[in-house]
Chain A
Amino acid sequence: MRIVAENLSYVYSEKSKSLAVQALSGVSVTVESGEFFGIVGKTGSGKSTFVQHLNGLIKVGKDKGKLTVGDFDLTDKRCDYRALRSRVGMVFQYPEYQLFAETVREDVAFGLKNFMPDLGENDMEERIKTALELVGLDYEKIKDKSPFELSGGQKRRVAIAGVIVTRPEILVLDEPAAGLDPKGKREFIALLKRLHEKFVKTVIIVSHDMNLISENCDRAAVFSGGRIVAVGTPKEIFTDNEDILSDGLDLPLTAYVTKRLKEQGIDVNNDLTEEGFISAVALKYGGGK
């Protein structure tokens, strides 16, 4: 499913003169099916408001632009939000705080029962099992445990299982690695990559972590003051783009060092992933000897 936003705007508390906040102004962007897409920007730049539009948590206002997700037209009053939400999975920040059921199995089943009440008992169990295994948990061992006796990393995996259990085509995650220690973070990103390869078509991550974005995303959009100020590959976004920096965002380490070298007349052209950067530097060093 392709996401197409055209001239999308949103104002919080529009009817109040004193409290009205323009959160989005004329956002246009296309996310192709199959992309690993990043959304970056400072706090208050409009990125959360934007992603909450994608599954209809925030509805497109009248004369506030157009938004389609696959065949779903979100400006159409007859849009089937229930069907949309089972196709676009949304994982919020610290999703482990949203676990509530007595057992892991019930927690994962909750969304599924709501979205697909007609599903048979066997199909349902099969889907729960698949979802838990996809996030790297042992179904038999964990299904009857209380979510609250699990470790932080396991809880987060259970929360993701509860979203992918409806088999969404698009998975949106807000700060997926926040609060995890370095090893937990690396494992979690590897999990997202695996899900992207095998299970969900499109992954959209919202993050402040520029290194995470440059390392993993095919393309990314930079939000600032409710607008998209840059969209493209990490290389396109983080090269020769001083206006992004002026907005208080950091460059990824690879982009920073590449830029500093270029200022000294040393060109290590690379895609700004760790591996791409290391290869380019090693090649440059070897070639100069």
Chain B
Amino acid sequence: MALLEAENVSFSYDKKNMAVKNVSLSVDEGEYVAIIGHNGSGKSTLARLFNALLIPDSGKITVDGFCSSDKNALFEIRRRVGVVFQNPDNQLVASIVEDDVAFGPENLGVKREEIGERIEYALKAVGMEKFRKSSPTRLSGGQKQRIAIAGVLALKPGILVLDESTAMLDPQGRKEILEVVRKLNAEDRVTVIAITHYMEEVLHADKVFVVNDGGIAMQGTPAEIFRRAKEIKQMGLELPLAAYIAEKLRQRGVPVPEGIMTEEELAEALCVLLPKI
């Protein structure tokens, strides 16, 4: 059975315009799933539906057997689905890093000794154990966002939802977060749902859902999705830059193979194709 499942889910903020329309999708344990879509496509609404911050108007969301429309299940769902949002400055609550990470488990009533262990685990998982006693205000954006992730990990959530969590970071900060998330997925078997419009962040996903106009417009592996360049463009998205340039080169008669998605792959393909003079 899927760990998280949405069945025909619809949601509207104002009872007029549908933000999410009849969405069905499933995420298995240990998967790395990416959800992409342009601004206003409904992807952030989905994130909020996943951890029961919003409840579907119709259809249902089930997490590990708990349905979000059941009021008694909210607590269980939120323990299992941790969301990291976009702005690191809006997510930290305490003046010392370890207090911030402890905030969630304290609210869950976790025992004192265990909280200590969880802080240690969570800070180590994001590579911030040296900053345990630091003040979050003195950290960089990428470091703050890693603390926000640690705060979620301390709840041992099982599913980590990243709602454009790298959008406000510089390239260095973005790399830090991606490395941490990939490691959590690979080593600690944390299920990841990454919501983004950076195409480069989609490449490592097992499965991609493209959201357009509140509904799921495409799904598949990154390679399957990016083969459909025209549709991607119609939905206000773009190919990863390397794939975009590869396509332009093909149009100009340079037979670059299909399926190139990274700058390394593009460089290697051109090394083979071009004459050495």
Contact = CB atoms under 8 A, between A and B. Distances in A.
Contacts, number: 102
B255 to A, nearest CB: 8
Contact of B253 (A152, A179, A285): A285
Interface in A215-258: 248-250, 253-254, 256-257
B275 A278 contact: no
A45 to B, nearest CB: 10
A3 interface: no
Nearest to A248: B172
Interface in A250-289: 250, 253-254, 256-257, 260-261, 264-268, 274, 277-279, 281-282, 284-288
A260 B249 contact: no
Could you tell me the dominant secondary structure of chain A's interface residues? helix
Contacts of B237: 181-183
A277 B245 contact: yes
Interface residues of B, number: 35
Contact of A208 (B171, B267, B277): B171
A281 B254 contact: yes
Given A181-B237, A183-B237, A281 B40 contact: no
A285 B273 contact: yes
A261 B273 contact: no
Could you tell me the dominant secondary structure of chain B's interface residues? loop
Contacts of A274: 245, 248
A249 B174 CA distance: 12
Interface string B134-177: 00000011000000000000000000000000011011110000
B23 interface: no
Interface in A149-203: 151-153, 178-184, 186
Given A153-B39, A260-B267, A181 B241 contact: no
B270 A257 contact: yes
Contact of B270 (A42, A183, A265, A281): A281
Contact of A260 (B171, B197, B236, B271): B271
A221 B248 CA distance: 29
B3 interface: no
A151 B236 CA distance: 15
Interface residues of A, number: 42
Contact of B263 (A178, A184, A253, A278): A253
A152 B39 contact: yes
B236 A264 contact: no
Contacts of B170: 42-43, 208
A285 B270 CA distance: 9
B274 A181 contact: no
Contacts of B140: 43-44
B252 interface: yes
B38 interface: yes
Given A151-B39, A184-B39, A265 B276 contact: yes
B125 to A, nearest CB: 23
Nearest to B273: A285
Contacts of A284: 274-275
Contacts of A267: 277
Contact of A282 (B171, B236, B252, B267): B252
Contacts of A68: none
B271 A264 contact: yes
B54 interface: no
A277 B267 CA distance: 12
B236 A182 contact: yes
Contacts of A264: 271, 276
A130 interface: no
Contacts of A103: none
Nearest to B262: A253
A228 to B, nearest CB: 18
A181 B252 contact: no
Contact of A178 (B39, B168, B249): B168
Interface in B231-271: 236-238, 241-242, 245, 248-249, 252-254, 263, 266-267, 270-271
B245 A151 contact: no
Nearest to A278: B248
Given A43-B170, A183-B237, A208-B170, A282 B253 contact: yes
A102 B239 CA distance: 39
Nearest to A287: B275
Contact of A288 (B199, B263, B277): B277
A211 interface: yes
Contacts of A180: 39
A156 B252 CA distance: 36
Given A42-B170, A182-B238, A256-B263, 16 more contacts: A42-B172, A44-B140, A152-B40, A181-B39, A183-B237, A184-B39, A253-B245, A257-B267, A261-B271, A265-B276, A266-B277, A274-B245, A274-B248, A282-B252, A284-B274, A286-B253
Interface of A: 42-44, 151-153, 178-184, 186, 208-209, 211, 248-250, 253-254, 256-257, 260-261, 264-268, 274, 277-279, 281-282, 284-288
10 contacts: A42-B172, A179-B168, A211-B241, A248-B172, A249-B171, A253-B242, A266-B275, A268-B274, A278-B245, A278-B248
